[in-house]
Chain A
Amino acid sequence: MNLDEDLISAHQTYNLPRLVVLYQQAAEEAFARQDIDAGCFYLTHAYIFSLEGNHADSKKIHARLVDYGREA
């Protein structure tokens, strides 16, 4: 399965921890190709689902968005 399909299935099953992981992956791929906007877009999604799911990565993701000037 590719990332898109994984994401769709994680949305369908409302699997919050999985969404946090997959959106971080999507962000990494975007950052790897120097697409900062797309990276922050996916990171934002990872952040929102990490807040909702009380996920351990929440702080780390938040800090990263702050570094990029995308979050307060």
Chain B
Amino acid sequence: MNQVSLLHDVKKPVAEAKGLPNQHYVDPVTFADESLKLLKQQWAGVGFGKDIPNKGDALPITFLGTPLLAVRNQDGAVRVFYNVCRHRGMQLIAEASNLGKVIRCPYHSWCYDLDGKLRASPHVGGPGQNIHDSIHREELSLLEVPSAVWRDVIFVNIEGNAPEFDVYAAELKQRWAEFEQPIYHGGAESSFKLDVATNWKLAVENYCESYHLPWVHPGLNSYSRLEDHYHIEQDDRFSGQGTLVYRQLEENGLKFSDFQALSEQWNEGAEYVSLFPNVLFGVHRDHAFAIVLEPVAIDRTREHIELYYATEQDLDADYAELRQKNAKLWKEVFSEDIHVVEGMQKGRHCAAFDGGKFSPVMDSPTHLFHRWVAERYES
């Protein structure tokens, strides 16, 4: 069967559909194609605002081989540029650092301000002559990549073709309108990375379904009872799962603070959503997390996991133990998922596997993502 009819099967209703064919996980040509259509042409997560907290902070990021530079400018806003000098294409910044007010290229010292404007071009017209008729500084700003920051995740649309981020994320922002309030990163112990031998899509697919919970996360016990979970499905945007039985961590009578003015739904409710393509969010009454899936290679994914709290007080030393406990818990949960996403990656080397048969009831969030992939891939 050819590619078109294989993806045709993916787009059928879930009861008749098949999963994405193997080539979407093991074929390098398809991976390159997907990198463009599913990542660079979309709003992909590439980093976190908390890593550039101060004005002048700069963070080089390589995403799918593309050198990017995230900067916090003098107004405190995040901007993302290509990390490349307009002169000879030198990489501008090699390591995270505070740049003060200018980005100086280490090669011939052209200087850009934090909004990307070319401020100085030393000796460009000969020794001691820094201007020249053919050097139009206003045309030589750093090339900027459209970016947005939401829930501390830095999103970029590398191809510059997507609708505004606020439009793309509108339904999720609306769903979680109650959580549109400040979040506070928990610090070093609330930040961890997992290197997983899998295609990034399998991490999305596993995250958005609850079917596996009782089998893969038995330790969550009552929390992972299937009947206490529901699907979250927004065509073309995101999918995931919610729970009705979230229980707050507690130690010696200490609990994390709640986000402000949440409705009753969140007393024991929590939600976990994959915002396509590669960002996974979780929200609870007293903490939240964000995961950026970095596609390192077709079969290598680095999961950047960051935990956030509702008030500054939760960052105090009094809460250190509780924060550690929470981070440990989530690290265990996400680590339990590693063998299944790696196992599915291995399974995709079986030529006889036909994309798989979905559970029409349990797998619809996963199928929604596959359909998103199929539609983008064919575009």
A contacts, CB < 8 Å to B: 36-45, 47-48, 51-54, 65, 70-72
Partner-binding segment picked from B28-36, B43-51, B122-130, B310-318? B122-130
Would you call A47 and B120 a contact (CB within 8 A)? yes
| CB-based contact B128/A40 at 8 Å | yes
Residues of A within 8 A of B127 (CB): 37-38, 40-41
Main secondary structure of the interface of A (DSSP, over half): helix
A43–B216 alpha-carbon span in the complex (Å): 66
Q: Is the CB of B128 within 8 A of A43?
A: yes
Q: Are A52 and B111 in contact (CB under 8 A)?
A: yes
- Closest chain-B Cβ to A63's Cβ sits at a distance in Å of 13
29 pairs across A/B with beta carbons < 8 Å? A37-B127, A38-B127, A39-B128, A41-B127, A41-B128, A42-B128, A43-B128, A44-B122, A44-B123, A44-B130, A45-B122, A47-B122, A48-B104, A48-B109, A48-B111, A48-B120, A51-B101, A51-B102, A51-B111, A52-B100, A52-B102, A52-B104, A53-B100, A54-B102, A70-B128, A70-B130, A70-B131, A72-B130, A72-B137
Are B131 and A72 closer than 8 Å at their CB atoms? yes
Interface centre among B111, B129, B137 (most CB of A within 10 A): B129
- Closest B residue, CB atoms, query A65: B130
Interface membership of B217, Cβ < 8 A: no
For the complex formed, measure the closest distance between the CB of B53 and the CB atoms of chain A, giving whole angstroms: 18
A-contact bits for B104-135, CB 8 A (1 contact / 0 none): 10000101000000011011000111110000
Taking the closest CB of chain B, its distance from the CB of A19, in whole angstroms, is: 12
Contact residues in A for B101 (Cβ distance below 8 Å): 51, 54
Q: Which residues of B contact A (CB under 8 A)?
A: 100-102, 104, 109, 111, 119-120, 122-123, 127-131, 137
Complex CA–CA separation, A5 to B130 (angstroms): 26
- How many contacts A-B (CB < 8 Å)? 52
The 10 closest A-B pairs by CB, nearest first: A40-B128, A41-B128, A54-B100, A51-B102, A52-B104, A44-B122, A41-B127, A71-B130, A48-B109, A37-B128
* Extra 7 A-B pairs, beta carbons < 8 Å, given A42-B128, A70-B129: A39-B128, A40-B129, A43-B128, A51-B119, A53-B100, A54-B101, A70-B130
Contacts of A48 in B (CB 8 A): 104, 109, 111, 120, 122
- Report the Cα distance A47→B137, complex, angstroms: 17
B113: nearest residue on chain A (CB-CB)? A51
In Å, the complex CA distance between A4 and B122 comes to: 20
CB-based contact B100/A44 at 8 Å: no
Docked Cα-Cα span, A34 to B101, in Å, equals 33
Report the bound CA distance from A36 to B128 in whole Å: 9
Nearest chain B CB to A33 CB, angstrom units: 15
Q: Among B119, B127, B128, B137, which residue has the most Cβ atoms of chain A within 10 A?
A: B128
Query: Whose C-beta in chain A lies nearest to the C-beta of B122?
Result: A44
Residues from chain A with a CB closer than 8 A to the CB of B128 are 36-44, 70
Least CB separation from A40: chain B residue: B128
Question: Which residues of the other chain, B, contact A71 by a CB distance below 8 angstroms?
Answer: 120, 130-131
User: Could you tell me if B123 and A41 are in contact, using CB atoms closer than 8 angstroms?
Assistant: yes
Chain B residue at smallest Cβ distance from A42: B128
Chain A contacts for B119, CB-based, 8 A: 51
For residue B99, which residue of chain A has the nearest CB? A52
**For A51, A65, A71, which residue has the most chain B Cβ atoms within 10 angstroms?**
A51
Across the interface, which residues of B come within 8 angstroms of A44, CB to CB? 122-123, 128, 130
Q: Which of B104, B123, B129, B131 contacts A51 (CB 8 A)?
A: B104
Q: Which residues of chain B are near A36, meaning CB under 8 Å?
A: 128
Set of chain A residues within 8 Å of B104, measured between Cβ atoms: 48, 51-52
Instruction: Find the residue from A42, A47, A48, A71 having the highest chain B CB count within 10 A.
Output: A48
Q: Report how far A71 CA is from B111 CA in the complex, Å.
A: 13
Residues of B within 8 A of A72 (CB): 130-131, 137
Q: How far is the CB of B116 from chain A (nearest CB, A)?
A: 15
A54 to B56, CA, bound (A): 11
Q: What is the bound-complex CA distance between A37 and B123, given in angstroms?
A: 11
**Complex: how many Å from CA A65 to CA B130?**
9
Contacts of A65 in B (CB 8 A): 130
CB neighbours (8 Å) of B130 from chain A are 44, 47, 65, 70-72
Q: Among A37, A39, A42, A51, which residue has its beta carbon within 8 angstroms of that of B120?
A: A51
